[in-house]
Amino acid sequence: MNQTTNLVADTICRTVELGVTITGAAIGETITHIDCRPVEHDPACPTCGQSGRLRDHVTRVLADLPIVGHPTRLHVRLPRFTCSDPGCGVSVFRQRIDRVAAPKASITRRTTRWILHCLAVEKMSVSAVAKALGVGWDVVNSLALSTVRELAYNQPGHLDGVRILGVDEHKWKHVRGQGDPSFVTVIVDLTPVIDGTGPARLLDMVAGRSAAALTRWLTARDQAFRDRVKIVAMDGFAGYHSAAKEGLPQARTVMDPFHVVHLAAEKLTVCRQRVQQITLGHRGRSGDPLYGIKRVLLTRKILRTDKQKARLEAVFADEQHIDVEVTEHIYQDLVAAYADPSKRAGKLAMFKMLKRLKSGVPTELAELAQLGRSLWKRRKEILAYFDTGASNGPVEAINGRLEHLRGIALGFRNLDHYIVRSLIHSGQLRERINAL
């Protein structure tokens, strides 16, 4: 190849950024082979620094970025030298090409970055990436896992700036008959969301869903990190609450609005089902009054259509349905308190409603009485939302994306692999990947 052809090929294949120049190429049955050599001649011994004498040449084969959809192999012709220092422990060495690839690596550095970009940004499966490169699944998976562990866990500033945590459970594999081994505790950094600087970031996942699981993770962090965390958002699980109180005594715990509303919705549904049985003696069926409004009951008042309002009024006109009507009013008041544009007014409305539920509920309304006891017990965490604005909504969003990840990979067997792949997927590692 002449000099002009070399320049064109180097530009198209971007080999110039690696510090090598193309000297030849060939097309195999499925793989494009590119011959190249280092642009600079460097005979310095890596141990003593003395200049060595040229001995011969060897070829190092490296998997590189695909070219026009085909796997590529770089055949780098490297000079080998004999060290001129008799006292040096190295007698023969070859020229280093650290810009191209790490020592003993079979894949170029830029290909490592491309693999992580495909997994983290393009949401590709490991199988698809391995096929594009023409290498084995294990090669791509092992390289991705080892690199991300370095990026996520071994960086000194990995947890810098984390002031608000979100904690939730997540089912990482769906296998019939398995309990806690199928669950993990998800720890998310909510600080960027509250500060308005970016999306939530997955920090880690711990095997199990218990106070012990969260306590182990917090204990493994340094004291500076624990002192920096001021808010922990979570669902109503008492185990996470006790672990946060023990490990982060100065932090304020917040019960997520979604779970509070969901709990009230469950009580409203149970109340409707109880009244259904009392009035008609069977479970709800098509054509039954209460069965026909089951969705309308859980719809916010301002979102109901005129037809839905009329249907609701007709059902509530029957005095036998008074329990459902009262419970529905409480549910709507709770939703309205969260939706109030004024956090101060919303907090006041929520406190008044919790106080009313604590002592002003007739014994006949068993579902409301139980709801009142549960919410009053957690009133501090419920009211803390109005002061902090922290919720587990972003955590639930990450859980949803991880469900998508499992679908891409057709499930996982190894929890360690799943955790690291989850960090690739939702750990906000894009800037670190681009810096590779």
Q: Residue 166 pairs with which residues in a beta bridge?
A: 188, 233
Query: What ranges do the domains of the chain cover?
Result: 3-106, 257-388
In this structure, the strands spanning 92-94 and 70-82 are antiparallel
Q: What's the confidence (pLDDT) of residue 3?
A: 64
Q: What's the confidence (pLDDT) of residue 383?
A: 96
Cβ contact 349:336 at 8 Å: yes
| Residues contacting 43, CB < 8 A, separation 6+ | 51, 52, 53, 54, 79, 81, 95
302-327 pLDDT, tens digit each: 999 999 999 999 999 999 999 999 99
Q: Within its chain, how far is the Cα of 124 from the centroid?
A: 15
Q: What's the confidence (pLDDT) of residue 214?
A: 94
Give the pair of three-digit tokens for residue 150: 């370095």
283-307 pLDDT, tens digit each: 999 989 999 999 999 999 999 999 9
Q: Distance of CA 334 to CAs 40, 349, 386, Å?
A: 71, 8, 13
Percentage of the chain lying above the pLDDT 70 cut: 97
Q: Is 40 exposed, middle or buried (0-12, 13-18, 19+ CB in 10 A)?
A: exposed
Q: What's the confidence (pLDDT) of residue 68?
A: 86
Mapping DSSP onto H, E and C, the string for 310-349 reads HHHHHHHCCHHHHHHHHHHHHHHHHHHHHHCCCHHHHHHH
Record the pTM.
0.77
Q: What's the confidence (pLDDT) of residue 310?
A: 95
Q: What's the confidence (pLDDT) of residue 17?
A: 86
Q: What's the confidence (pLDDT) of residue 251?
A: 94
363-400 pLDDT, tens digit each: 889 999 999 999 999 999 999 999 999 999 999 999 99
Q: Which residue ranges in the chain fall short of pLDDT 70?
A: 1-5, 176-180, 435-436
Q: What's the confidence (pLDDT) of residue 364?
A: 85
**Can you tell me which residue has the tokens 């490991």?**
126
Task: Report the alpha-carbon distance of residue 170 to residue 208 in Å, rounded.
Answer: 9
Q: Within its chain, how far is the Cα of 257 from the centroid?
A: 21
